[in-house]
């Protein structure tokens, strides 16, 4: 496994997918992180100002915790991880065993619509990512 | 594992402070947070209990400047030290690039240091990492207590207990006064970066 280094070309392809599939819809910010809390890439609508590094560390911890809880109650995983707020929402989705896609979006987008697009984006990202594994 | 972004030329390095409960891991990060404000872009994140004990981890991102044109972003973490939290300790170790083992120099903590180091060894093994290969620095903390008449272990004893086989760089320190906190940090950063540098083009 060699996911520690991603080529510039692959990152550009992934960024394009994130922009066309999610940012264009009105998602405020999309981050791909690994389970160790590293940021693979982050895209936003140019307005949001999140501290993405702290966010990634907390998100990885959050996801790992929920995953461990799933195992404790005998589930392979909880497939939907979603936090809902007044103004903004956070949606987590697993790309593969190492990668997570996190979307932050406001109240103008419905969860169902977002999920649909996340699923499509993830399929495309997987194709790009596969090329990275040795 | 460090993550290297070739597009934006950023390297993210994960360093974990590990050790028994109340040995001074959080205090190390708090000192770094105060002392190196200009290299730290954001607030320290601490997930703790009501009683101010680390529940999950502390997190402090630290900018190292550039090496070979790459921005080096050091991510400092601590683990929760309490015995019952081994599951979360393991989560924090995922993808670790370098470890600072903080030992508590107080005499009564002798056993706990050894047990914690053994557990670090096992936890790393569960990620197929080896304590003998991973960049590691050991810190014998709280040596200031000697002046206050608290019985502490001589460094030779701590060394024999913890570092006779590993033979890694080690420091006496006092996280509360800041003595050798920066030296410990610099050492683990340089060991870790050297091992990562080989991956950079
Ligand atoms: N005297 C002394 N006390 C320390 C030192 N480092 C930490 N402490 C104290 O030990 C206690 C536990 O420290 P903390 O950093 O929370 O330990 P952690 O559980 O490893 O994160 C606190 O009361 C600290 O003030 C030190 O170098 N000298
Ligand atoms: Mg602590």
Check A38 against B2: CB less than 8 A apart.
yes
Domains along the sequence of chain A with CATH: 8-133 (3.30.450.30)
pLDDT (average), residues A12-32:
94
**CB B74, CB B191: distance < 8 Å:** no
Among B59, B92, B95, whose Cβ lies nearest the Cβ of A38? B95
Ligand nearest the Cα of residue B27 is: 1
Tokens of B122: 């096992």
Tell whether B178 lies on the interface with A, counting CB pairs under 8 A: no
Residue B107 has pLDDT above 90, yes or no: yes
pLDDT (average), residues A11-18: 94
A20 — pLDDT class (breaks 50, 70, 90): very high
The CA-CA-CA angle for residues B61, B64, B65, to 5°, reads: 130
User: For residue B9, what is the nearest residue in chain A, using CA coordinates?
Assistant: A8
Query: What is the C-alpha to C-alpha distance for residues B122 and B138, in angstroms, rounded to an integer?
Result: 17
Q: Which B residues, 13 through 32, put their C-beta within 8 Å of a C-beta on chain A?
A: 14
**What residues in B contact A7, CB-CB < 8 Å?**
6
Rounded to two decimals, the pTM is: 0.87
- Mapped to the 3 state alphabet, what secondary structure does chain A carry? CCCCEECHHHHHHHHHHHHHHHHCCCCCEEEEEECCCCEEEEEECCCCCCCHHHHHHHHHHHHHHHHHHHHHCCCCCCCCEEEECCCEEEEEEECCCCEEEEEEEECCCCHHHHHHHHHHHHHHHHHHHHCCCC
Return the pLDDT at A4: 61
pLDDT of residue A132: 60
Residues of B in contact with A6 (CB under 8 A): 4-6
In chain B, where are the structural domains located?
Answer: 3-200
According to CATH, the superfamily of the domain at B3-200 is P-loop containing nucleotide triphosphate hydrolases (3.40.50.300)
C-alpha span between B76 and B57 (Å, rounded): 10
Residues with Cβ within 8 Å of B194's Cβ and at least 6 positions away in sequence, in order, are B135
Would you list which residues of chain A are within 8 Å, Cβ to Cβ, of chain B? 3-8, 11-12, 34-41, 51, 53-54, 57-58, 60-61, 64-65, 68
Any CB–CB contact under 8 A between B60 and chain A? no
Distance CA B57, CA B78 (A): 5
Strand partners, A102: A31, A92
Burial class (CB in 10 A: 0-12, 13-18, 19+), A62: middle
pLDDT at A28 over 70: yes
Give the best residue of B10, B46, B95 to mutate against chain A (max A CB count within 10 A).
B95
Taking residues A17-38, report their average pLDDT. Answer: 92
């Amino acid at each position: 496994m060699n996911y520690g280094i991603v080529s510039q070309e692959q990152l550009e392809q992934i960024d394009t997918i994130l922009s066309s599939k999610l940012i264009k819809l009105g998602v405020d910010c999309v981050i791909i992180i690994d389970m160790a809390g590293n940021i693979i890439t982050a895209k936003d609508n140019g307005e949001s100002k999140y501290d993405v590094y702290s966010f990634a560390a907390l998100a990885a911890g959050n996801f790992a915790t929920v995953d461990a809880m799933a195992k404790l109650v005998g589930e392979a995983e909880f497939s939907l991880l979603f936090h809902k707020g007044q103004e903004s929402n956070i949606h987590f989705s697993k790309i593969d065993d190492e990668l997570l896609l996190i979307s932050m979006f406001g109240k103008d987008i419905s969860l169902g619509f977002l999920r649909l697009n996340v699923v499509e984006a993830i399929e495309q990202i997987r194709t790009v990512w596969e090329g990275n594994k040795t | 594992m460090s993550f290297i972004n070739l597009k934006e030329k950023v390297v993210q390095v994960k360093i974990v402070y590990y050790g028994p409960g109340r040995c001074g891991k959080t205090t190390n990060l708090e000192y770094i947070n105060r002392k190196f404000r200009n290299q730290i872009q954001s607030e320290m994140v601490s997930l703790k209990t009501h009683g101010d004990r680390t529940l999950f981890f502390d997190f402090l991102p630290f900018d190292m400047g550039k090496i070979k044109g790459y921005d080096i972003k050091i991510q400092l973490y601590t683990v929760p030290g309490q015995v019952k939290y081994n599951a979360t300790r393991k989560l924090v170790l995922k993808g670790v690039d370098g470890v600072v083992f903080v030992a508590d120099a107080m005499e009564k903590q002798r056993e706990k240091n050894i047990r914690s180091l053994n557990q670090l060894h096992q936890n790393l093994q569960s990620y197929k990492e080896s304590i003998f290969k991973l960049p590691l620095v050991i810190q014998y903390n709280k040596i200031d207590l000697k002046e206050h008449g608290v019985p502490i272990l001589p460094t030779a004893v701590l060394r024999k207990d913890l570092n006779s086989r590993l033979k890694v760089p080690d420091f006496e320190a006092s996280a509360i006064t800041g003595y050798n906190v920066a030296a410990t940090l610099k050492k683990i950063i340089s060991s870790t970066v050297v091992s990562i540098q080989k991956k950079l083009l």
